[in-house]
Amino acid sequence: MSEILPGQQCTTMSEVRAGVDALDRELVALLRRRFDYMDAAARIKPERGAVRDEARKAQVIAQARAEAERLGVPAEAVAAMWEELVEASIAYELAAFDVR
């Protein structure tokens, strides 16, 4: 396997694609870790109604947006992705709560 180069050092689309594919694998592994926390939340929360917390959802999305702005990536796109991520996390947590 060839070395994964930082984006700034890529000179071919093959290098770019290898980097993107490697990053995608890392992102999915990070998502697995995030969903492990949803499993923990489902185990810890005393009632199903505590799963959806709109104030916490807004806080998480705002934090992601702020970090995107700090890093110079499209904040609106990140906020939209986090909206989807949080909703998927809530659905996952509800399902986990229901089988406990």
Mapped onto helix, strand or coil, the DSSP state of residue 47 is: coil
Q: What is the pLDDT of residue 100?
A: 87
Tokens of 18: 């290898």
Supply the pLDDT for residue 1: 55
Q: Which two tokens stand for residue 93?
A: 């947590």
Q: Tens of pLDDT along 71-86?
A: 999 999 999 999 999 9
Gap between the Cα atoms of 6 and 3, Å rounded:
10
pTM here is 0.91
Angle between helices 75-98 and 13-44 (to 10 degrees): 40
User: Six-digit token pair at 54?
Assistant: 């709109």
pLDDT at 2: 75
Q: Is the dihedral of CA 7, 9, 66, 56 positive or negative?
A: positive
Q: What are the pLDDT digits (tens) for 9-67?
A: 999 999 999 999 999 999 999 999 999 999 999 999 999 999 999 999 999 999 999 99
